[in-house]
Chain A
């Protein structure tokens, strides 16, 4: 889980062009949208692409997006759940 979250932080920085940040700047539980990293709806789409490209995990129900993409930890949980399912 720790390694997965570390990988995710690097991939999020790369995919979302957050070049002003380092992985250490992103907390495991830090909100990614609005008050946290300030990501927007286009970033959410890029996160969906990231999950598909790197982990072959698809977002089954778009309504679950806000919960899944709440933080790096919640994304990691979703990946774990769907890779082992």
Chain B
């Protein structure tokens, strides 16, 4: 069984990593929050501004998750997988895109009208080339995600997997990402079990329903 070596949470306009708040007092409108969070995390990546909210949340979460960790250097680009999930798919962007079709459809929005685009943006930003999957489900499902990640890690060349939940709809945003590794020297690392995932997801916000 793999172990959980890092995790992060983005919810209620707050960033946290390993259970510790990174920055509070950020703007409480989603667009302002996302752009301010980018600066708080010192992300220098002009393409960030062009991304839809789902991709921005995915990149912010991954940035927190991988701070100080060179997983691509350690495992190789193809040794790192990505398994994400959410409830609203790309509906937030789909709605924005639909509005533009009433005049002239926006090509820049159109390219984000699939939920798995966030996995592509994360892979491009962090140089990841491993297996990836995106699931749409009513709420974060620790058992399903843990089982799938274990199956991915059980295959040949995958040594680590970024996994979890990235959801956005309107102002609602809810991110829980974690890093599972096959092996670690960290004695404090948690076993990669659904129970631990559920605890980490619930710890700060009291429910496993992402839309509460």
Once the chains bind, are A18 and B107 in contact (CB under 8 Å)? no
Residues of B103-120 contacting chain A, CB below 8 A: 103-108, 111
Asked if B98 is at the interface (CB within 8 A of a chain A CB), the reply is: no
What residues of A have a CB within 8 angstroms of the CB of B105 in the complex? 49
- Let me know if B49 and A49 touch, CB within 8 A: no
Chain A residues positioned under 8 Å from B46 (CB to CB): 18, 20, 38
Nearest Cβ on chain A to B128's Cβ, whole angstroms: 20
* CB nearest neighbor in B for A20: B46
Kindly provide the distance from the CB of A81 to the nearest chain B CB, expressed in whole angstroms. Answer: 21
Given contacts A18-B46, A20-B46, A38-B46, contact A52 B111 (CB under 8 A): no
CB contact under 8 A between A19 and B49, given known A43-B108, A46-B108: yes
For the complex, what is the distance from the CA of A52 to the CA of B106, rounded to whole Å? 12
Q: Is the CB of B14 closer than 8 A to any CB of chain A? A: no
Q: Do the beta carbons of B49 and A46 come within 8 Å of each other?
A: no
Tell whether, in the assembled complex, residue B35 and residue A46 are in contact, meaning their CB atoms are under 8 Å apart.
no
Per-position binary interface string of chain A over residues 52-69, scored 1 when its CB falls under 8 Å from any chain B CB and 0 otherwise: 110000000000000000
Is A34 part of the contact surface with B, judged by Cβ < 8 Å? Answer: no
A85 at the interface (CB under 8 A from B): no
Q: A17-B50, A20-B49, A42-B111 are in contact. Are A49 and B106 (CB under 8 A)?
A: yes
We find that the number of chain A residues with CB closer than 8 angstroms to chain B is 13
A49 CA / B104 CA spacing, docked (Å): 7
With beta carbons under 8 angstroms apart, the residue of B50, B103, B108 that contacts A53 is B103
The one of B35, B50, B107, B111 in contact with A49, judged by C-beta atoms closer than 8 angstroms, is B107
Chain A contacts with B in 9-31, Cβ cutoff 8 A: 16-20
- Across the interface, which residues of B come within 8 angstroms of A1, CB to CB? none
Residue numbers in B under 8 Å from A52 (CB-CB): 104
For residue B104, which residues in chain A have a CB less than 8 angstroms away from its CB? Answer: 49, 52-53
Known: A17-B49, A17-B50. A45 touches B107 (CB 8 A): yes
Q: B residues within 8 A CB of A18?
A: 46, 49
Q: When each residue 38-61 of chain B gets 1 if its CB lies under 8 Å from chain A and 0 otherwise, what string results?
A: 000000001001100000000000
Contacts of B106 in A (CB 8 A): 46, 49
Q: How far is the CB of B101 from chain A (nearest CB, A)?
A: 12
17 sample A-B contacts, Cβ–Cβ < 8 Å, listed by A number = A16-B50, A17-B108, A18-B49, A19-B35, A19-B49, A20-B46, A20-B49, A43-B108, A45-B107, A46-B106, A46-B107, A46-B108, A49-B105, A49-B106, A49-B107, A53-B103, A53-B104
| B→A interface (CB under 8 Å) | 35, 46, 49-50, 103-108, 111
